[in-house]
Amino acid sequence: MIYWFIIVVVISIVLVFNLDKLRRKTTLELRKILYLDHNVALYISLLNNKRLRLIYTNATIEILKLDAWIFQNDDNKIEESFENLSHFHLTKNQKIDIATRKISYYCSINDKDNALEALEDIKKLTQNKKKLHNLVEESSLIVDIYIHHDISRKDDLLIMEKEDQDKNRKGLTNFRLAKLEYYQNKNNEVDYYLKRAIVFLQDEKWLEIAKQCSDNHSLLAKY
């Protein structure tokens, strides 16, 4: 009898491993369709395919759909997704994923109350988790820049810009430095940091935003 138990356990482990491998591969393909091909229609169509429910929970599929609505800047769909997700039984990691998306979204539309609420959610969800300390720091930084327009965070950004080896993150840091300079009406500094952002940014969407802001500084208030 013990042998059958061992066999069942081994088979279960193999199935879980292969399912996890398939899930990671599918997620990478979906991200390529959305962020590289910009094919939102195909992305949503695939997420609506019932077969995907064999590897993703309904909550995960809704989070993936939320990414598409954020990519499209579809405010109505974004709010609808947040509402839908509030009715799911979520894991702690899923709650963190949603809270980080809320911070990015609500900061982008200058919704102070919801942005601060999302930041508090992240702090509570990551309490006593040292591995997620950087997530709290990054979230606080975004709120300080986009909501509070906190000029004192410039020094933190300069340190990050100097130390970060990732080109895209370095580009985003320069873009945020440009925002802080914009709040102080320092046009020469805005130009300087936007030029650096354009050099480093790898993400096509942010690269295009940086170029638009370079032509029209007032767009920095929006982005």
193-222: pLDDT as tens digits: 999 999 999 888 899 999 999 999 999 998
CB atoms within 10 A of CB 158: 12
Is there a single domain that holds both residue 48 and residue 111? Answer: no
Domain final residue pick, 89, 107, 127:
89
Distance CA 162, CA 158 (A): 6
Is the pLDDT confidence value at 7 over 80? no
Burial-class residue 128 by CB neighbours within 10 Å (0-12, 13-18, 19+): exposed
Indicate the number of domains in the chain: 3
Q: Are residues 142 and 171 in the same domain?
A: no
Quick one: 2 and 72 in the same domain?
Answer: yes
Where among 89, 107, 132 does a domain terminate? 89
Residues 84 and 95 in one domain: no
- d(C-alpha 220, C-alpha 206), whole Å: 12
pLDDT tens-digit map of 105-150? 999 999 999 999 999 999 999 988 878 888 999 999 999 999 999 9
Sign of the four-CA dihedral 73, 115, 107, 169: negative
Cβ contacts of 35 within 8 Å, gap of 6 or more: 71, 203, 204, 205
Based on the domain organization, do 85 and 9 belong to the same domain?
yes
Are 22 and 80 members of one domain? yes
- Mean pLDDT over all residues of the chain? 89
Q: By residue range, what is the domain housing residue 181?
A: 153-223
Residues 19 and 101 in one domain: no
Average pLDDT over residues 6-27: 60
83 and 1 belong to one structural domain: yes
Region 76-80 average pLDDT? 97
pLDDT at 171 over 90: yes
Residues 119 and 193 occupy one common structural domain: no
Q: Are residues 108 and 79 in the same domain?
A: no
- Domain end point (choices 42, 64, 89): 89
pLDDT at 63 over 70: yes
pLDDT of 21 reads: 83
Report the C-alpha gap between 185 and 151 in whole angstroms: 12
In this structure, the answer to whether residues 211 and 169 fall within a common structural domain is: yes
* 9 and 32 inside one domain: yes
pLDDT of 13 strictly over 50: no
